[in-house]
Structures are given as C-alpha cells and as structure tokens.
Amino acid sequence: MYEAPISRSRPACIVFLVDRSASMAERFGADGELSLAQGAANALNNILFELCLRSQKEPGRPPRHYFDVGVFGYGQSAKARSEAVEPALAGPLQERTIVPIPEVATHPLAIREMRRSEDLPLSKMPVWLDPVAGFGTPMCQAIATAGSSLRDWVSAHPDSFPPIVINISDGEVTDSPYRGADLREWAQRLTTLATSDGNVLLFNVFLSSRQAPISFFPADGAHLPRPGGDLFAISSPLPPPMQRQAEASGFRVADGARGLVFNADLASLSSFLVIGTRLSVNDR
C-alpha cells in the first residue's frame, strides 16, 4: 500500500487546504518579516512550482500530467468581504477544484523575481497565491469540500496513489459541528475514501506565531497543547514509504508517527510540504 508509482495513466492528486482566518495576519516569530499568511502562500507557491518542475521532463514540451492539484482557502474570501471555503487558484482556474498540473503551470497569477530559499539567488518564479487573512476558521467545511472533490477523483483513478490532503492552519476550528458532524467526523469521512493503493491521507501543519517547540511527525498527541490533540487525532499515520522519506531527510520517525507538524516555522512548513508530496514518478 502507498507504493503505486506515479505516471500519466495513474497521476497522483494533492489537495492543499490553507487557513485564511484573521489570525493568519500575525507574524512568524516576534520580529518576523512575514505574516503566517504570507509564509503559507510562499510555501504553497514553492511546492506548486516544485510539482511543475518534477513534471517537466522534455525541453520545449509542457509539464507532464503526473499530478492533479487542488488548492482551497478557508476563512477570508479572496473575492468578497466574507467568510468562505473556495478554490484558491486564480484567473481561469478560479472556479476549478482539481486541476491537472499542466494547466496549473500555464496559469500562474504572476511571474515575480523571488528567492526559492534564502541560499538561492533571485530568479523569476511563478506564483499562484497571494496571502489573504480575515474572519474565522471553517476547517470542517474545508475538509468537507476536499472530500466532495476527491470522491469523483478516486472513482476516476481507482489504482492511483491515494490523494494526499495537506491542511495548513494556525488556529482552532470555528465551524464544528458543521452539518451535524464535528472535525473528527469530517476527517474520518475524508479518509474513508480510498484507491486500491490505500486510503486518502490527511496531513496537518499547525503554524505558530510564537517561538515554541516544534513537534514533527509526533507519535503521541497527548503532550501537545491545544489544538494539537485534535489535529493529531485527525492526521493520518505516516505510511512506511513516507516514513522512509522522512528518515532520509534527517527526521526521527517513531512507530505510529502521524502526518503532523505542530508549531511549525517557515522552514519546517517547507520541509513538511516536500516530504508530504515526494512521490515516486515512474513514467519515462
């Protein structure tokens, strides 16, 4: 399980849920330059770019369709002064829930001079998301929305690597219960969806504006301050192939480790996104 190689006939699907609540306007660290929303947007732009690059195999040809991608914002709408759960890609993709990576590559919001990381020089990079922050944290509705989109996807891709949903948030859920079900039930419904290679994976990143101990891939949620216990409970166990990826990246991963990083800073957010989306492409 969780070993299906990625190819054009069996693409993978990765869904990002990004918190756009008011508290995301706080800064990373006391003297941080970036808000949590800016840091999350940068990290998502980086990982979308990375997925495009992993799919770019031949000069002059578009990226291959190895990935379908969904990006949903929850909290402040990017289109109106109201709270919403909505697809977060822009332009021609703004109403689309799941988008093939070649289309993502074709429709960035802008091309900007940026650094992919602090040790790299400025270079032109596509960006797909700008930071947004306001209103509450409708995380239940976000997970429900992801589930609705993925139900059709798993039916259409029964033998693909199962979808990975990565939820990036800094706060406590404000819409539980939603339609009669609480956060754990929505997460359970989402992760009941499956392909022949395994159930949908739900991973969580809890961002912290304070300098607090970072818990990476915890195997026990009891010691985590709120809302760590809830996030631990809804995070999928890390499948063995991903455990090996995490260990190869220098993390100690205990048995029972969950796909969660608690009190993440910018660097750990980026690391988590890379490990959580590093799938084996086998399509030449």
Query: What are the residues binding another protein (CB under 8 A)?
Result: 5, 7-9, 49, 52-54, 56-63, 105, 111, 123-126, 281-284
For residues 47 and 40, the answer to whether their CB atoms sit within 8 Å is no
Chain center to CA of 209: 19
Q: For residues 12 and 17, which CB has a smaller minimum distance to another protein in the complex?
A: 12
Q: For residues 5 and 32, which CB has a smaller minimum distance to another protein in the complex?
A: 5
Shortest distance, position 154 Cβ to another protein, whole Å: 20
- Euclidean distance between CA atoms 200 and 92, whole angstroms: 28
Shortest distance, position 12 Cβ to another protein, whole Å: 15
Shortest distance, position 47 Cβ to another protein, whole Å: 14
Q: Coil, strand, or helix at residue 89?
A: coil
- Euclidean distance between CA atoms 39 and 37, whole angstroms: 5
Shortest distance, position 240 Cβ to another protein, whole Å: 14
For residues 161 and 10, the answer to whether their CB atoms sit within 8 Å is yes
Q: For residues 81 and 284, which CB has a smaller minimum distance to another protein in the complex?
A: 284
66 CB-side CA count, 13 A: 24
Q: For residues 91 and 177, which CB has a smaller minimum distance to another protein in the complex?
A: 91
The amino acid occupying position 18 is V
Q: For residues 57 and 79, which CB has a smaller minimum distance to another protein in the complex?
A: 57
Q: Which of 23, 265, 227 is nearest to 131 (CA)?
A: 23
CB burial of 114-142 (b: ≥16 within 10 Å; e: otherwise) equals bebeeeeeeeebbbbbebbbbbbbbbbbb
Q: For residues 105 and 168, which CB has a smaller minimum distance to another protein in the complex?
A: 105
What does the DSSP 8-state code read for residue 180? T
Shortest distance, position 273 Cβ to another protein, whole Å: 17
Shortest distance, position 109 Cβ to another protein, whole Å: 14
